[in-house]
C-alpha cells in the first residue's frame, strides 16, 4: 500500500445524507447499532432540500374520502402499473405515520383553516384528493432540517464532504466502502457489517436538469459494480416545469405547487392546451372544459369549499408529470411555444399578489431574482427538465435489501416504488418510509453478522485508480467530457427514444469512455472539483449505459419511457421489468417478471370503484388505449 | 457575449492571493455561473461549494466585492460592465481552499442545543397563527452569512462563547414552538453569550431568506433572559420569599 488511509469500523454505514439516508441512520442508531453517515456535501445540503411542494400521505385532514387504498391506486395508475405493488402498498399505508412522526420530531407543517388546526394538505398532479402536507414551497428544507436535528442527537457519526469510490465485499456479502475526503483528498476505509445506499439521483447526466452537482448516479454505479441488480433504469422523469430563461437558470425546478395553487399552462396563442392531452386513464377524472376547470378553481382554491361537495372536476394541469411533460413538449415542437422555447405557466391572472407571495414565496423570489420576472404580474416560461430516476437498485420491498447480502438501498436510488412515473410528493414520503425500513433491516443484518474481512490488496488498486487523473499529462479537462456526456444523453436517451438513437448513444458513450480514461486533473488532491468530476464521471458512464440499454430493451412507451418507434403500451412488456447486472466487464440486460397485485386486493379495489377494469386492461396493453 | 474582469481568492490555510480572470458572460448569469465557467475553462481545481443554484441550500456563501452573499443569487448585471468583481471566501471562518471555508463551528454549536422536546400529553393541533413566527426562523438555509457578518465572531473572535445569529434563530424556533417543553434561557445566558450581541442588525441585513433575526429572534430571547435573571422585582421577590 503506497499511501496511508484512515480506517473506521461501524455496524451500519449509510452513504448519502438526504432524507432517506438520515432517516435510515436514525433508525439504525435507535436500534443500538454504531452508525455512520457519509455525504458528499455538508450535512443538510443534500438534494432533498430542493423538494418544494410537499410530502404525500393519506392523512385525510382536509378530504375525509382519502385512504391508503386511494393513495395506492393513484401511485399505481401514475406509475402505469410498472410499480412493485408491494412497495406502493407499504408506502401508502405507512406514509401518514411517518409524517406525524416528523411533526413529533419538530417539523412545523402548515395548518388547516377549518379551526381544527390539523396538518394542511394541498393538491398535486395525479393525486385524487388533496394529499400533500407542506410548508409553503420549502417542504424539503423542513424535512431535512428536522431529520438533521434529530440525527445529531442520535449518536450518529457524520463524515461530511466524503465521497465513496467503491463498495467492498467479503465473498458475496458487503464488507464496507472505500473513498476519499474531499477537503484533503486523503483515502478512507469504512468497514461495516451492513451498508445502506441512499445517494439520490442521476440528473447531472442530462444537459437540462433540476439537480445539484451531487446527482451523478453514484449509488447505482457502486451497487452495480458490487454485483447488485439494477431495475427499471429506462424510467427517467422529466419534470414538466423547469425554468427556461435566462440560459444560466435553465432547468431549475418550478414546483408543481404553482399548478396546485391554481396556475394554468398556456401556449403562445393563449390557449389552455392541457384539455387536449387527457389520456384514457385519466378521462372522467379531470375537467373537460375551461368553464368547468374554472368553476372548480373558484370553488375549491379561491373560496376554499370542501371538495367533496363540489361537482366539477379538477383542471387537467393537475395530471401526472409524464403526461404534462409530453404535452408541453408537443406544444413547443409544433410551434406553439413561448419566445424562449417553453410554454407559459400563469398564476398572475389567477391569484392575488398577496396569495402568491404567501403560498409560493420561494418561486416569487426565484423568478424575481434570477429572471427579472414578477410572477404576481407576468406568466413564467417553463419547459421539461430532467428531474428524477424511477429505476435503480433492485430491492426486497419489505427489507430494502439488494441482491447483495448486507447491501440496502432507499430513496431515489432504489427501484420499484414509483413504477414508470413518480407522482409529485411521493418522493419525500418514499424517503422516510423506506429510509426507516432500510435502517431497521440494515441494523438487524448487522446484529446477526460479524465484521467482515477487507481485502487490503484491493485497496491499493482502488487508490491507484483514484489517482489516475493526476498521472496523465496534457489530457482533457473533466468538464469537457461532462458537457459532452450530457449532450449524448439528451440526444440519445432523453424524453423521446428510438432504436437508432439509442444505438448511437451507446456507441457515443463507448467513445466517451475512452476519452474519460485519459482525463487530466490539474493541481493536487486538496478540494479539487476538476478531479472530483473526473471520478464521478466513471459512475455517470455506467448509469448512462444502463439507461440506454434498458430503454432499448423496452419496446413500448410507458410513463417516463417514451419510444417514438413503439408508441403504445405493450402486453409483452406490461408485466416485465428490465434488469441490468454486471457480468465480468459486460453489462448484461435481463427481463424478469414484475410481481402483480394479488387478485384479492385487485378485486377489492375494483369493487370500491378505485380501479376500472378497462383502464387496467389498457395499461396492461391487452386492449388499445384510445 | 461580453467579458468581465474578476478577481478570485486562491489559496489555503497557509496563505493565498487574488487571481485575475477574464470571463465570458451571457445574459442572466450569476456570480456562481462565472465561477463555474472559470472552473470549466481556466482553473479546474478552483474550490467552491454549491448545490441547488437557486438560493435554497445555502452552500455557495462567499463575499462578493466585500459583501456576504449567496453566489447563486447574485446577478452579474448588478455590477457595472467595466467593474471588477472580487470574490473572496467568508472571512469569519478558517479557509480550507479558495472559496471553501471550514464551517464546522456551526455544526458544533448546533449539537449543544437541546432538541425539540414535546410536552407530555401534547395535542398536535394548533392554528397557523401560532406557528407563523417560528416558520420564519425555520426558513433558514444555513448559509452562515449571518455568522460571517457578525462582528462578535468576525472581529472579536468569540468562538466558543457566542453561539451566533443562526443559532439564536434556531433556539427561537424551539422556544416559541407551541408544544416544546424545555427552557433554554440559562443556556442562552451562560453558554451562548446572547448578551454579547449589541443588536446592530447586520445579520438581518445579509440574510438571503429575509429572516428578521435581530427583531424577531434575538431581541425576544434577550428579553426572556432579562425577565428571568435581571428583573429587579423578581430579585426582591426571590429574596423576600427565599427562592
CA A310 to chain centre: 33
Angle, CA of A301, A305 and A309, to the nearest 5°: 125
A472 catalytic residue (yes or no): no
Instruction: Concatenate the DSSP letters of all residues of A399-454 into one string.
Output: T-B-SSTTEEE-GGGB-SSSTTSPPTTHHHHHHHHHHHHHHHHHHHHHHHSPPPP-
Interface check B5 vs A, CB under 8 A:
no
A239 catalytic residue (yes or no): yes
CB spacing of A253 vs B43 below 8 angstroms: no
Distance from the A489 Cα atom to the nearest Cα atom in chain B, whole angstroms: 20
A341-365 residue pLDDT tens: 999 999 999 999 999 998 898 899 9
What sign does the dihedral A387-A391-A393-A398 (CA atoms) show? positive
**Listed residue (B67, B74, B66, B28) closest to B50, CA to CA:** B74
Buried b (16+ CB within 10 A) or exposed e, A49-64: bbbbbbbbbbbbbbbe
Which one of A529, A530, A531, A537 would you mutate to disrupt binding with B, by most B Cβ within 10 Å of its Cβ? Answer: A529
Q: Is B128's pLDDT higher than 90? A: yes
Q: How confident is the model at residue A311 (pLDDT cuts 50, 70, 90)?
A: very high
Nearest CA in chain B to A527: B47
> Is B172 in contact with B216 (CB distance < 8 Å)?
yes
Question: What is the average per-residue pLDDT within B36-61?
Answer: 96
pTM for the predicted model, two decimal places: 0.96
Q: Is B182's pLDDT higher than 90? A: yes
Report H helices in A251-360.
Answer: 257-260, 290-296, 321-333, 353-359
Question: What is the average per-residue pLDDT within A183-191?
Answer: 97
CA atoms of A299 and A209, how far apart (whole Å): 35
Written in H, E and C, the secondary structure of A96-120 is HHHHHHHHHCCCCCCECCCCCCCEC
What residues have CB less than 8 Å from A412, skipping those under 6 apart? A20, A200, A201, A388, A389, A392, A427, A430
What's the mean per-residue pLDDT of chain A?
Answer: 96
Which one of A101, A104, A106 would you mutate to disrupt binding with B, by most B Cβ within 10 Å of its Cβ? Answer: A106
CB atoms within 10 A of CB B22: 10
Q: Is A305's pLDDT higher than 90? A: no
Q: Is B215's pLDDT higher than 70? A: yes
Question: What is the average per-residue pLDDT within B139-147?
Answer: 98
Nearest CA in chain B to A530: B44
Q: Is A80's pLDDT higher than 50? A: yes
Q: How confident is the model at residue A3 (pLDDT cuts 50, 70, 90)?
A: low
Give the model's pLDDT for residue A257.
87
CB spacing of A45 vs B59 below 8 angstroms: yes
Distance from the B173 Cα atom to the nearest Cα atom in chain A, whole angstroms: 10
Which one of B26, B56, B141, B167 would you mutate to disrupt binding with A, by most A Cβ within 10 Å of its Cβ? Answer: B56
Q: Which residues of B touch A105 (CB under 8 A)?
A: 116
Residue A147 burial (CB < 10 Å; 0-12/13-18/19+)?
buried
Give the model's pLDDT for residue A1.
41
For chain B, domains (ranges, CATH) are: 2-101 (3.10.20.30), 104-232 (1.10.1060.10)
Lowest-pLDDT range, A230-234, A259-263, B233-237?
B233-237
Q: Which residues of B touch A111 (CB under 8 A)?
A: 126-128, 131
Interface check A42 vs B, CB under 8 A:
yes
Please tell me which of the candidates A108, A366, A529 has its beta carbon nearest to residue B54: A366
Q: Which residues of A touch B56 (CB under 8 A)?
A: 49-50, 138, 141, 362
| In chain A, % of residues over pLDDT 70 | 99
CB spacing of B125 vs A118 below 8 angstroms: yes
Question: What is the average per-residue pLDDT within B178-207?
Answer: 97
In the CATH scheme, what is the code of domain A239-386?
3.90.700.10
Of the candidates A69, A239, A554, A581, the residue annotated as catalytic is A239
CB spacing of A477 vs B43 below 8 angstroms: no
Q: Is A2's pLDDT higher than 60? A: no
Interface check A41 vs B, CB under 8 A:
yes
Interface check B128 vs A, CB under 8 A:
yes
Q: Where in chain A is the domain with CATH 3.90.700.10?
A: 239-386
A49-68 residue pLDDT tens: 999 889 999 999 999 999 99
A88-138 residue pLDDT tens: 999 999 999 999 999 999 999 999 988 999 999 999 999 999 999 999 889
Question: What is the average per-residue pLDDT within A302-322?
Answer: 91
Residues of A numbered 419-438 whose beta carbons fall under 8 angstroms of chain B's beta carbons: which are they?
none
Q: Is A219 helix (H, G, I), strand (E, B) or coil?
A: helix
Give the model's pLDDT for residue B27.
86
Q: Please report the number of interchain residue pairs, chain A to chain B, with beta-carbon separation below 8 angstroms.
A: 161
Q: Which residues of B touch A150 (CB under 8 A)?
A: 115
Q: How confident is the model at residue B188 (pLDDT cuts 50, 70, 90)?
A: very high
ipTM rounded to 2 decimals: 0.96
More confident residue, A305 or B187: B187
A364-381 residue pLDDT tens: 999 999 999 999 999 999
Q: Is A340's pLDDT higher than 70? A: yes
Interface check B91 vs A, CB under 8 A:
no
Beta bridge partners of B229: none
Give the model's pLDDT for residue A358.
87
Question: What is the average per-residue pLDDT within B101-126?
Answer: 96
A246-278 residue pLDDT tens: 888 999 999 988 998 999 999 999 999 999 999
Cell of B132: 407563523
Q: How confident is the model at residue A565 (pLDDT cuts 50, 70, 90)?
A: very high
> Is B94 in contact with A390 (CB distance < 8 Å)?
no
Top CATH class of A477-579 equals: mainly alpha
Q: Where in chain A is the domain with CATH 1.20.58.100?
A: 477-579
Strands (E), A300-401: 343-346, 380-389, 392-393
Interface check B46 vs A, CB under 8 A:
yes
Instruction: Concatenate the DSSP letters of all residues of A8-66 into one string.
Output: EEEEEEEE--SHHHHHHHHHHHHTT--EEEE-SS-TT-SGGGG--S-EE----SS-TT-
Question: What is the average per-residue pLDDT within A417-425?
Answer: 97
Amino acid at each position: 500500500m503506497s499511501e496511508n488511509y484512515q480506517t473506521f469500523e461501524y455496524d451500519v454505514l449509510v452513504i448519502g445524507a438526504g432524507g432517506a439516508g438520515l432517516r435510515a441512520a436514525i433508525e439504525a442508531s435507535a436500534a443500538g447499532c454504531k452508525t455512520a453517515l457519509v455525504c458528499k456535501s455538508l450535512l443538510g445540503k443534500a438534494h432533498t432540500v430542493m423538494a418544494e411542494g410537499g410530502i404525500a400521505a393519506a392523512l385525510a385532514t382536509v378530504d375525509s374520502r382519502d385512504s391508503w387504498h386511494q393513495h395506492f391506486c393513484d401511485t399505481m395508475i401514475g406509475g402505469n402499473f410498472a410499480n412493485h405493488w408491494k412497495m406502493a402498498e407499504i408506502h401508502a399505508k405507512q406514509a401518514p405515520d411517518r409524517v406525524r412522526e416528523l411533526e413529533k420530531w419538530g417539523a412545523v407543517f402548515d395548518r388547516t383553516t377549518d379551526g381544527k388546526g390539523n396538518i394542511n394538505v394541498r393538491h398535486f398532479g395525479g393525486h385524487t384528493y388533496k394529499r400533500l402536507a407542506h410548508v409553503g414551497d420549502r417542504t424539503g428544507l423542513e424535512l431535512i432540517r428536522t431529520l438533521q436535528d434529530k440525527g445529531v442527537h442520535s449518536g450518529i457519526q457524520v463524515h461530511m464532504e466524503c465521497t465513496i469510490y467503491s463498495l467492498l465485499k467479503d465473498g458475496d456479502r458487503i464488507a464496507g466502502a472505500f473513498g476519499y475526503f474531499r477537503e484533503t483528498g486523503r483515502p478512507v476505509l469504512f468497514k461495516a457489517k451492513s451498508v445502506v445506499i441512499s445517494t439520490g439521483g442521476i440528473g447531472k447526466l442530462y444537459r437540462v436538469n433540476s439537480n445539484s452537482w451531487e446527482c451523478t448516479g453514484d449509488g447505482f454505479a457502486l451497487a452495480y459494480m458490487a454485483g447488485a441488480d439494477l431495475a427499471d433504469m429506462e424510467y427517467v422523469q422529466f419534470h414538466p416545469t423547469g425554468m427556461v430563461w435566462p440560459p444560466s437558470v435553465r432547468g431549475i425546478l418550478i414546483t408543481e405547487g404553482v399548478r396546485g395553487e391554481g396556475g394554468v399552462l398556456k401556449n403562445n396563442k393563449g390557449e389552455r392546451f392541457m384539455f387536449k392531452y387527457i389520456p384514457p386513464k385519466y378521462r372522467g377524472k379531470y375537467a373537460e372544459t375551461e368553464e368547468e376547470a374554472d368553476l372548480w378553481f373558484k370553488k375549491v382554491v379561491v373560496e376554499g369549499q370542501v371538495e367533496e361537495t363540489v361537482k366539477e372536476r379538477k383542471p387537467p394541469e393537475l395530471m401526472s408529470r409524464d403526461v404534462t411533460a409530453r404535452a408541453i413538449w408537443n406544444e413547443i415542437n409544433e410551434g406553439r411555444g413561448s419566445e424562449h422555447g417553453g410554454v407559459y405557466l400563469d398564476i398572475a391572472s389567477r391569484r392575488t399578489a398577496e396569495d402568491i407571495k404567501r403560498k409560493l414565496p420561494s418561486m416569487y423570489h426565484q423568478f424575481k431574482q434570477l429572471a427579472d420576472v414578477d410572477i404576481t404580474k407576468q406568466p413564467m416560461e417553463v419547459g421539461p427538465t430532467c428531474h428524477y430516476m424511477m429505476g435503480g437498485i433492485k430491492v426486497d420491498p419489505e427489507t430494502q435489501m439488494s441482491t447483495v447480502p448486507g447491501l440496502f438501498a432507499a430513496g431515489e436510488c432504489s427501484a420499484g416504488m414509483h413504477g414508470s412515473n413518480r407522482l409529485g410528493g411521493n418522493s419525500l414520503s418514499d424517503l422516510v418510509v423506506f429510509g426507516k425500513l432500510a435502517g431497521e433491516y440494515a441494523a438487524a443484518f448487522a446484529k446477526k453478522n460479524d465484521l467482515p474481512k477487507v481485502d487490503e490488496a484491493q485497496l491499493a488498486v482502488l487508490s491507484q485508480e483514484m489517482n489516475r487523473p493526476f498521472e496523465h499529462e496534457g489530457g482533457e479537462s473533466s468538464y469537457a467530457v461532462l458537457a459532452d456526456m450530457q449532450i449524448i444523453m439528451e440526444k440519445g436517451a432523453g424524453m423521446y427514444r428510438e432504436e437508432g438513437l439509442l444505438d448511437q448513444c451507446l456507441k457515443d458513450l463507448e467513445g466517451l469512455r475512452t476519452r474519460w480514461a485519459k482525463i487530466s486533473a490539474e493541481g493536487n488532491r486538496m478540494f479539487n472539483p476538476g478531479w472530483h468530476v473526473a471520478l464521478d464521471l466513471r459512475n455517470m458512464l455506467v448509469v448512462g449505459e444502463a439507461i440506454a440499454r434498458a430503454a432499448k430493451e423496452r419496446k413500448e412507451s410507458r410513463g417516463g419511457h417514451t419510444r417514438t418507434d413503439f408508441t403504445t403500451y405493450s402486453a409483452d412488456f406490461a408485466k416485465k421489468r428490465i434488469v441490468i447486472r454486471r457480468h465480468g466487464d459486460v453489462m448484461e440486460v435481463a427481463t424478469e417478471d414484475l410481481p402483480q397485485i394479488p387478485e384479492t386486493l385487485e378485486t377489492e379495489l375494483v369493487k370500491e370503484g378505485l380501479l376500472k377494469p378497462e383502464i387496467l386492461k389498457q395499461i396492461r396493453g391487452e386492449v388499445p388505449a384510445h | 457575449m461580453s467579458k468581465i474582469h474578476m478577481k478570485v481568492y486562491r489559496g489555503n490555510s497557509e496563505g493565498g492571493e487574488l487571481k485575475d480572470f477574464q470571463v465570458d458572460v451571457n445574459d442572466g448569469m450569476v456570480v456562481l455561473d462565472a465561477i463555474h465557467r472559470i472552473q470549466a475553462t481556466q482553473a479546474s481545481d478552483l474550490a467552491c461549494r454549491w448545490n441547488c443554484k437557486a438560493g435554497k441550500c445555502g452552500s455557495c456563501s462567499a463575499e462578493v466585492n466585500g459583501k456576504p452573499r449567496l453566489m447563486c443569487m447574485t446577478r452579474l448585471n448588478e455590477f457595472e460592465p467595466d467593474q471588477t468583481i472580487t470574490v473572496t471566501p467568508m472571512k469569519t471562518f478558517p479557509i480550507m481552499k479558495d472559496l471553501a471555508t471550514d464551517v464546522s463551528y456551526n455544526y458544533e454549536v448546533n449539537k449543544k442545543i437541546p432538541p425539540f422536546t414535546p410536552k407530555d400529553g401534547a395535542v398536535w393541533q394548533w392554528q397557523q397563527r401560532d406557528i407563523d413566527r417560528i416558520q420564519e426562523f425555520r426558513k433558514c438555509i444555513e448559509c452562515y452569512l449571518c455568522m460571517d457578518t457578525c462582528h462578535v465572531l468576525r472581529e472579536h473572535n468569540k468562538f466558543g462563547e457566542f453561539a451566533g445569529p443562526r443559532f439564536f434563530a434556531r433556539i427561537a424556533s424551539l422556544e416559541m414552538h407551541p408544544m416544546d417543553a424545555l427552557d433554554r434561557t440559562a443556556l442562552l445566558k451562560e453558554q451562548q453569550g446572547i448578551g454579547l450581541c449589541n443588536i446592530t442588525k447586520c445579520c438581518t441585513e445579509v440574510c438571503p431568506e429575509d429572516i428578521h433575526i435581530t427583531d424577531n429572534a434575538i431581541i425576544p430571547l434577550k428579553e426572556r433572559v432579562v425577565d428571568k435573571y435581571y428583573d429587579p422585582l423578581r430579585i426582591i421577590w426571590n429574596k423576600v420569599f427565599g427562592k
